[in-house]
Amino acid sequence: MQIQQLRARAEQGQPESQFLLSQICHQDRDLEGMVHWLLQASAKKLPDALDALGHCYAKGEGLPRDFIAALAHYDRAVQGGSSAAAYRKGELLYKSQQGPANESLIRDLLVTAAAADFVPALRVVGYLAMQHASSRNLGMNCLRRAAQGGDPVSSFNLGWCLLQGWGGADAEGEAVQCLQRAATVQYPCAETLLAPLQGVQLAPHSQLPQERIEWGASFSLYPESRSVDHQVLSADPAITLFKDVLNIVDCAYLIFLSRPYLKRADVIDPGSQRDGMVSDVRTNMSTYIPFGMVDIIARYVELKIIRETSEDLMSSEPMSILHYAPGQYYRPHVDYFDPKLTVSKGLLEDGGQRTASAITYLAAPLVGGGTSFPRLNLSVPPSAGSTLWFRNSREDGQVDDRSLHGGDPVVQGEKWVVTKWFRVSPTRYLEF
């Protein structure tokens, strides 16, 4: 009866009812109906409908993917006061090729959305602002407000910040409360941080953010190269281990973002000349974070890896997330595309040959799980936050079979990895 009444009001031209009906259609996977009612409500300049229609264009959901159209609809929604659209416009610009040229605009959009208590924007501003001491107060206040809004990412990030000694007298007690909230939804690494805090007295109450957050503190949208400690493991072929590229906040977030999408990892089968084949060669789980899925925090983490290895985002593939449970492995293999295989021809069309790989360990197992190079008699133990970078081809462009490597079986615990592959030329990864 309520839906019938809602439909009647929508057909009479009431934009709020048209928007609500579009959301019901979306829940029912009726994309045609969803778009129909969004177009009706957007024609009447309803901000929520304009934002949702922009989101449809950005995701290619019910409409052809069109990033220019998405930005145009977000613009109109922002003019109507939509904080969600301000955030989504900022996010789309940030992860696009236009990001660095629009840094000031993106920052303003994120602050606008965060100042309206839009939780995803508070989470992102909190994460970005906590990166530097000059904006740390802003970051922690944003994280507190987002955590109070029920965001487990912000609860975990705030807990970690407090354990760094950035809080007041009750910092440890408040950190425990934050991490316990994150642990209730099994947020990655929350239990790890809680383990040494057994017996810490809880804070009498969580500190509240300032009643009015001061938004004037400037914060950087992009990571700075830190020239981390590194160890050259081999000069020829080039293999280098970069230490402490990511912190536990970065590692936990990539695990959190990718975990729902894991599936059995596949391989290229030389015998059948087919890609995407399940094989006993590898038994781990994996997923990708494509352009449509990557968000501001994930891109920031990705840029940390790229800048330390001096590679180029434009010539990279999407992040590949791998999870190894006890007993799982990836037998020795090469990352380059074998030029003798017919199946490689199509794969080489997007950016050419893979020149290098960067394996970053997000979580290290207690026993096992190293990365071995059998032709070099080299084995690298996993270390959370560190990046193992190596060349797959020689300087003359020829593939280098000495890059043969494998993921050793995990004996105890679990291993999480994010891999970035780099090509000769720009790829289609950055769709916009």
pLDDT tens digits for range 355-408: 999 999 999 999 999 999 999 999 999 999 999 999 999 988 899 999 999 999
Mean predicted lDDT score pLDDT of the chain:
94
Nearest to 318 by CA among 188, 423, 424: 423
Q: In what order do the strands lie in the sheet with 405-407?
A: 330-333, 405-407, 371-373, 378-380
Say whether pLDDT at 285 is over 70: yes
| Average pLDDT, integer, range 180-194 | 97
- The position carrying tokens 């290290």 is 364
- Fill in the amino acid letter for 232: V
- Fill in the amino acid letter for 139: G
Say whether pLDDT at 207 is over 80: no
Q: Which CATH class is domain 230-423?
A: mainly beta
**CA pair distance 117, 87, nearest whole angstrom:** 11
| Average pLDDT, integer, range 38-53 | 98
**CA pair distance 362, 384, nearest whole angstrom:** 5
Residue spans of the domains in the chain: they are 2-111, 119-197, 230-423
pTM here? Answer: 0.94
CA distances from 321 to 113, 231, 265, 371 (A): 30, 24, 10, 15
**Do residues 42 and 53 lie in contact, with contact meaning Cβ atoms separated by under 8 Å?**
yes
| Average pLDDT, integer, range 30-51 | 97
Q: What is the pLDDT of residues 94-116, one digit of tens each?
A: 999 999 999 999 999 999 999 99
**CA pair distance 279, 269, nearest whole angstrom:** 8
Query: DSSP letter string over 115-171?
Result: HTT-HHHHHHHHHHHTTSGGGHHHHHHHHHHHHHTT-HHHHHHHHHHHHTT-S-TTH
Binned at pLDDT 50, 70 and 90, residue 210 comes out as low
Cis bond before residue 237 (omega within 30° of 0): yes
Position 400 scores a pLDDT of: 97
**CA pair distance 207, 422, nearest whole angstrom:** 44
Position 269 scores a pLDDT of: 64
Find the length of the chain.
432
**Do residues 252 and 162 lie in contact, with contact meaning Cβ atoms separated by under 8 Å?**
no
Helix (H) or strand (E) holding 319: strand 319-324
Position 325 scores a pLDDT of: 97
Q: Which CATH class is domain 2-111?
A: mainly alpha
Binned at pLDDT 50, 70 and 90, residue 127 comes out as very high
Instruction: Say whether 230-423 and 2-111 share the same fold.
Output: no
**CA pair distance 98, 71, nearest whole angstrom:** 12
**CA pair distance 151, 118, nearest whole angstrom:** 11
Say whether pLDDT at 268 is over 90: no
